[in-house]
Amino acid sequence: MSSTTSNRRTLRQQAMQNIHQIAPHQFTGSHRVYLDAGEDIQVPCRAVTLTDALKSQIFLYDCSGAFGDPAQQVNVRRGLPTLRQTWLDARQDTTPTQRQFSPDDIELEQWPTEFSSDCRRALPGKTVTQLHYARAGIITAEMKFIACRENMAIDNLASQQDERLQPQQSGRSFGAHIPKHINAEFVRAEVAAGRAIIPLNINHPEAEPMIIGRNFLVKVNANIGNSSVSSSIEEEVEKLIWSTRWGADTVMDLSTGRRIHQTREWIIRNSPVPIGTVPIYQCLEKVGGKVDALSWELFLETLQEQAEQGVDYFTIHAGVLWEFLPLTAKRLTGIVSRGGAIMAQWCQTKQQQNFIYQHFREICALCAQYDISLSLGDGLRPGSIADANDEAQFAELRTLGELTKIAWEYDVQVMIEGPGHVPLQLIEANMTEQLKHCHEAPFYTLGPLTTDIAPGYDHITSGIGAALIGWFGCAMLCYVTPKEHLGLPDKEDVKQGLITYKIAAHAADLAKGHPAAQLRDNALSAARYDFRWQDQFNLALDPDTARAYYQQSAPAGQADEHAEFCSMCGPKFCSMKLNQQLRDLAVPVDAVRPHTLVANSNASTNNADATALAKELV
Amino acid sequence: MSSTTSNRRTLRQQAMQNIHQIAPHQFTGSHRVYLDAGEDIQVPCRAVTLTDALKSQIFLYDCSGAFGDPAQQVNVRRGLPTLRQTWLDARQDTTPTQRQFSPDDIELEQWPTEFSSDCRRALPGKTVTQLHYARAGIITAEMKFIACRENMAIDNLASQQDERLQPQQSGRSFGAHIPKHINAEFVRAEVAAGRAIIPLNINHPEAEPMIIGRNFLVKVNANIGNSSVSSSIEEEVEKLIWSTRWGADTVMDLSTGRRIHQTREWIIRNSPVPIGTVPIYQCLEKVGGKVDALSWELFLETLQEQAEQGVDYFTIHAGVLWEFLPLTAKRLTGIVSRGGAIMAQWCQTKQQQNFIYQHFREICALCAQYDISLSLGDGLRPGSIADANDEAQFAELRTLGELTKIAWEYDVQVMIEGPGHVPLQLIEANMTEQLKHCHEAPFYTLGPLTTDIAPGYDHITSGIGAALIGWFGCAMLCYVTPKEHLGLPDKEDVKQGLITYKIAAHAADLAKGHPAAQLRDNALSAARYDFRWQDQFNLALDPDTARAYYQQSAPAGQADEHAEFCSMCGPKFCSMKLNQQLRDLAVPVDAVRPHTLVANSNASTNNADATALAKELV
């Protein structure tokens, strides 16, 4: 055994060890609570009990599923409990069946599991998508779950008990219409209109329902997955659990290396959030990387294989049309989407139209049987500031709009992927063009990166663009990690990417005026003003880091939770403390004298005089 | 000696050791070049020679002064060379004199220096500000230096040699008017109009001229300075040099602990960038932290002391009027500016109007003698999303506008400080109100933070707001570090804050359409497309991190600079590589067939049929 193989094995064992360590996990000062959505529907959330006199509870949206519940024990070799099993059974429109596709790898004894080899499929003639139910006027359990989940913060008792927590600011919504209180009928109506999607494959009953649409909270996606030169199954499962801890609303498994099927199986069985994939990646692995060996038959077979496993949404590059390729010829960075580049090369090599486009209706028919949502990939997205908003990009976008209408004919849920690299002044046009050409189907963008000059910090270059496009109406933001353009992200990169994107999403929610958004800001700021340090940490997006930074820089003996200052300013210069002293002093408003513009009267306006005056002063 | 004292001494020795290590410093792949601005004016920049066939040089704005020039040796106990000495002498409007104020601390033998105890003062009746010269139609050497510096990228030979480097995107300027080529007369005119300032005390001849105004590159300020519970002189000098390496255009010394005078002396003597302070901090130290012991006389004396040392701009909280205090009573987080809170408490305790406001003209007269710019502090800025854009904030802003006009009577340069915590949708109003009420004097904002929920990541919450307000016209962005609200930043925090803000500033420059901005993005993206990894790293805002991330995640043996992929995607899935193969294949545009909407024709629109079709496929 080479030392490299030995190292890899150690890494994998380490990762498996870590999975056991992080499941279950609860942040210090938080505890798992389930909100009752009626009809035995329990919605998980992270609750923080404040330490002020009111002892209010603040409920926070929680993506971590059973991994965030100390009362549950998860065996990652068996997978998560199947939350949606009874809902799916009750609908009586699906049937259990043996899977047709099994693992593609013989090394599986290294990863023994107790996963089922069955799957579920729609009964003949049945469409089982949430869009289908929504159009039929049916409010599903998934929709009820989602309504409760989206309202979490509004339903907080805290907001009624402490008037400081009420939102003060109104938003600017750019055409979004977010009701004061979201109910299940609103969820249904938005799905029916195609303005929102609920990506939930019937073969992923472990997933907790969530919604992607611009009249809901802005969501965040994290990409994980191995590449041929890095990482193992255990590491990817660990990244999955880690991602949901830090707030990933969906996770894309972008594996391109060996054991793709098995890696995905582990991910889906253990994922409390919807899983997306880019099926063409697996196809290319199957043909040893030879683009011209790709075919529609292989693609369809791969979709079927992933459908049985439970993939919740497929990114397919159906809009990379053969005739658009010359539009990229003058670009600075050509085609930067992996899927886009693969399909472009196929079209050009074969001198044929993109087979994903040609067979789009067949794909829709398949998706309708499993409720797989389509994420129409932007294979021609710009990869540099220079290429932003060009004709290649917008030609593809218009095509995606045509395909959206076709998917809707099949009751298949659709979202549209967007760029990429876009300078600030061109971001709004991306959103307005998308709304116009794609009939308000949800937009799902990568960033966009607002400059190209900071490799190593592209979570930040893109977090700026993400906040902006989220405000303008983008429904889900695909994170970018610090390693973008440089290498495969590790756990710490995943966390940095996610925290940055949760910031962007929340800043966008605030800016749109989402009624549930400002409560958390207010609760945290009130804690800050009151020197309730622990509350401030507990309410933070990353309680661990906030707590560690405070303790690390506080001098010995002063890092206690009652200190009325921190090391940034020290005790004499803490404005919060000074201000509290001021309030203690406060005189009534009418005792204050009126503004007297004294500054205008005690010196002349002549420079020479002024200088003379200054001389006297000196 | 206690172990704490011993630890502190070790820390200080470590810091001094670090100063020697980082001076001089040159990034791998970069070299110092001086651009000729005529009349023996040499403007430093960081040059990167590309490795492509053209071997073009890219010139990058460089704030690191002599510390970035391997040909220079800097002794930090003696300070930097006095670049502006001859220019100041040539004007014959100043005179050397003994300083009136000496260090306030007896421990100085620990920090022996060779700094001069002389200073320079305007001759009687003379005003020595850049605004004064500008209004008189005089183009100073400083203005010529600045014109060359601002044009750096435009003058790049590279942009003429390689058409890929030419900017493609036009900006949206929100009323800014940036010429294609900046010349010294334009600099003069902008200063004369009050739209830009050149903060350069005649007692800081070590500083390299720079300009702050919305028709120039957006600038970034870094705050350093000790607090009573943390850090030493050596550590602060180290942070200063470190800050300029990462692009700080100005540095504020916000020291509040002991040895304020001496810390500042070391900082100014070693600073290639303008230094700002908040003089009220030192005043408060002088009176042992007792706010009611503050007085105008003490304040004036402190201004004089700092003027002699060479402070380039003063932040003074002249707009915190007594009568505005009741406006803060209903706020969630009251007054969060340290200076604002101090002045508010003083007004309320003494039942008197703010003495900085009362004596504003005397302050202007003093500043006119040294060319100290005024940065009118926003003492009532909002400290939480809840308090953004309230009447307290805007009442103060209008007062700052009145004071701006008074300062201009004295030919004193002025900029206006801004918030704070502001959600995305309220940022633009901050800029438009500032332009309206403050007569286009440059705006200088802290962030703004776009949400309160991410302590530990406020460089990012605020970097988003900074990019936006920079685009809207803010001239300088005061950085925020990850430790904001939690503790005093260390070196790594300073770097993180700076890189984030350089990203924000550059994203804003791109968005405004600054003609010099896009070249660097294009050069970096061209390098990325060509797999010129070293060029990509060398052009990055942080070459060290980009290089380290690439090498760290590349598998053994593949981390070479010619690899046509990275570990993110591996060799088969590199879109850049695929795309290059595509271009090799490329057929002429007219060989491509027209768009045929095949997707519309090969399946019916009926769901039942679609399902049947899918069944066949399965």
Within a domain: B531: yes
pLDDT of residue B604: 36
Asked whether the beta carbons of residue B582 and residue A124 sit closer than 8 angstroms, the reply is: no
Is position A317 annotated in a ligand binding site?
yes
Residue of chain B with shortest Cα separation from A132: B607
pLDDT of residue B568: 62
Within a domain: A616: no
Domain end (from B476, B500, B515): B515
pLDDT of B151 over the 90 cut: no
Asked whether the beta carbons of residue B566 and residue A594 sit closer than 8 angstroms, the reply is: no
Whether chain B has a CB inside 8 Å of the CB on A605: the answer is yes
Q: Please name the member of A500, A540, A575 whose beta carbon is closest to the beta carbon of B337.
A: A575
pLDDT of A453 over the 50 cut: yes
Whether chain B has a CB inside 8 Å of the CB on A11: the answer is no
Whether chain A has a CB inside 8 Å of the CB on B172: the answer is yes
Verify that B397 and B411 share a domain, yes or no.
yes
List C-alpha distances in Å: A275 to A22, A420, B577.
Answer: 20, 21, 28
Given pLDDT bands bounded at 50, 70 and 90, which one contains residue B588?
A: very low
pLDDT of B609 over the 50 cut: no
Verify that A506 and A408 share a domain, yes or no.
yes
Whether chain B has a CB inside 8 Å of the CB on A612: the answer is yes
Whether chain B has a CB inside 8 Å of the CB on A217: the answer is no
Distance between CA atoms of residues A578 and B337, nearest Å: 10
3 state SS for A350-396: HCCCCHHHHCHHHHHHHHHHHCCEEEECCCCCCCCHHHCCCHHHHHH
Which chain A residues have a beta carbon less than 8 Å from that of B583? 329, 334
Average pLDDT score over chain A: 88
pLDDT of residue A567: 64
Give the pLDDT mean for A243-271.
93
Given pLDDT bands bounded at 50, 70 and 90, which one contains residue B5?
A: low
Verify that B480 and B530 share a domain, yes or no.
no
Distance between CA atoms of residues A331 and A388, nearest Å: 10
Verify that B538 and B438 share a domain, yes or no.
no
Q: Please name the member of A464, A506, A548 whose beta carbon is closest to the beta carbon of B463.
A: A464
Asked whether the beta carbons of residue A611 and residue B122 sit closer than 8 angstroms, the reply is: yes
Within a domain: A555: yes
pLDDT of residue B448: 98
Distance between CA atoms of residues B309 and B99, nearest Å: 8
pLDDT of A604 over the 50 cut: no
Within a domain: A173: no
52-111 in chain B: CB under 8 A from chain A = 100
pLDDT of A320 over the 90 cut: yes
Distance from the Cα of B43 to chain A's closest Cα (Å) equals 23
Domain end (from A515, A534, A552): A515
Verify that B400 and B527 share a domain, yes or no.
no
pLDDT of residue A589: 43
pLDDT of A347 over the 60 cut: yes
Domain end (from B515, B530, B563): B515
Verify that B264 and B383 share a domain, yes or no.
yes
243-272 in chain A: CB under 8 A from chain B = 256-257
Of B486, B436, B446, nearest in space to B466 by CA:
B446
Average pLDDT score over chain B: 88
Distance between CA atoms of residues A158 and A118, nearest Å: 45
Whether chain A has a CB inside 8 Å of the CB on B362: the answer is yes
Binding residues of B for substrate are 223, 252, 281, 317, 337-339, 378-381, 417, 444
Distance from the Cα of A11 to chain B's closest Cα (Å) equals 14
Distance from the Cα of B40 to chain A's closest Cα (Å) equals 32
504-563 in chain A: CB under 8 A from chain B = 504, 506-508, 510-513, 518, 520-522, 524-526, 528-529, 536-537, 539-542, 545-546, 548-550, 552-556, 558
Which bin fits A149, alpha (ψ -120 to 50), beta or left (φ > 0)?
alpha
Verify that B549 and B407 share a domain, yes or no.
no
Within a domain: A1: no
Contact B158, B165 (CB under 8 A): yes
Verify that B430 and B532 share a domain, yes or no.
no
Which chain A residues have a beta carbon less than 8 Å from that of B171? 423, 425
Is position A566 annotated in a ligand binding site?
yes
State which amino acid sits at residue B347.
Answer: C
Contact B205, B312 (CB under 8 A): no
Within a domain: A237: yes
Binding residues of B are 223, 252, 281, 317, 337-339, 378-381, 417, 421, 444, 485, 566, 569, 574
pLDDT of A3 over the 60 cut: no
pLDDT of B602 over the 50 cut: no
pLDDT of residue B256: 84
Q: Kindly report the backbone phi and psi dihedral angles of residue A339, in degrees, each rounded to the nearest multiple of 5, phi listed first.
A: -65, -40
Distance from the Cα of B406 to chain A's closest Cα (Å) equals 7
Q: Please name the member of A425, A453, A614 whose beta carbon is closest to the beta carbon of B506.
A: A453
Q: Please name the member of B406, B596, B617 whose beta carbon is closest to the beta carbon of A353.
A: B596
Verify that B361 and B443 share a domain, yes or no.
yes
pLDDT of residue B615: 41
Asked whether the beta carbons of residue A365 and residue B455 sit closer than 8 angstroms, the reply is: no
Distance between CA atoms of residues A282 and B250, nearest Å: 52
Residue B145 CB burial class (10 angstroms; 0-12, 13-18, ≥19): buried
Asked whether the beta carbons of residue B573 and residue A281 sit closer than 8 angstroms, the reply is: yes
Q: What percent of chain B has pLDDT over 90?
A: 71
Q: Is the dihedral of CA B519, B521, B524, B529 positive or negative?
A: negative
Verify that A333 and A352 share a domain, yes or no.
yes
Asked whether the beta carbons of residue A452 and residue B333 sit closer than 8 angstroms, the reply is: no
pLDDT of residue B572: 67
Distance from the Cα of A603 to chain B's closest Cα (Å) equals 6
pLDDT tens readout for residues B34-69: 999 988 999 999 999 999 988 888 999 999 999 999
Q: Which residues span the domain enclosing B529?
A: 518-585
Distance from the Cα of A605 to chain B's closest Cα (Å) equals 6
pLDDT tens readout for residues A528-570: 999 999 999 999 999 999 999 999 877 555 555 567 666 666 6
Mutate: best of A460, A538, A609, A615, partner B, most B CBs <10 A? A460
Within a domain: B265: yes
DSSP per-residue string spanning A248-309: -SEEEE---SS-HHHHHHHHHHT-SS-EEE-HHHHHHHHTTT-GGG--HHHHHHHHHHHHHH
Asked whether the beta carbons of residue A553 and residue B471 sit closer than 8 angstroms, the reply is: no
State which amino acid sits at residue A563.
Answer: A
- The CATH number of the domain holding residue A402 is 3.20.20.540
Q: Please name the member of A127, A426, A592 whose beta carbon is closest to the beta carbon of B325.
A: A592
Total domains, chain A = 2
pLDDT tens readout for residues A565-595: 666 666 666 776 776 676 666 544 444 444 4
pLDDT tens readout for residues B207-266: 999 999 999 999 999 999 876 655 678 888 899 999 999 999 999 999 887 788 989 999
pLDDT tens readout for residues B97-148: 999 987 655 555 666 788 988 999 999 999 999 999 999 999 999 999 999 9
Poorest-pLDDT segment among A252-266, A388-402, B498-512, B569-583: B569-583
pLDDT of A229 over the 70 cut: no
Q: Which residue has the higher pLDDT, B227 or A322?
A: A322
Q: What percent of chain A has pLDDT over 90?
A: 71
pLDDT of B402 over the 50 cut: yes
Within a domain: A593: no
Verify that B554 and B567 share a domain, yes or no.
yes
Most confident of the following: A103-117, A337-351, A541-555 = A337-351
pLDDT of residue B216: 97
Crossing angle of helices B233-245 and B3-22, rounded to 10° = 30
pLDDT of residue B327: 95
Given pLDDT bands bounded at 50, 70 and 90, which one contains residue B300?
A: very high
pLDDT of A374 over the 50 cut: yes
Contact B429, B403 (CB under 8 A): no
Q: Which two tokens stand for residue B411?
A: 């030919």
pLDDT tens readout for residues A76-96: 889 999 999 999 999 999 999
Verify that B524 and B453 share a domain, yes or no.
no
Contacts of B548 (CB under 8 A, 6+ apart): A456
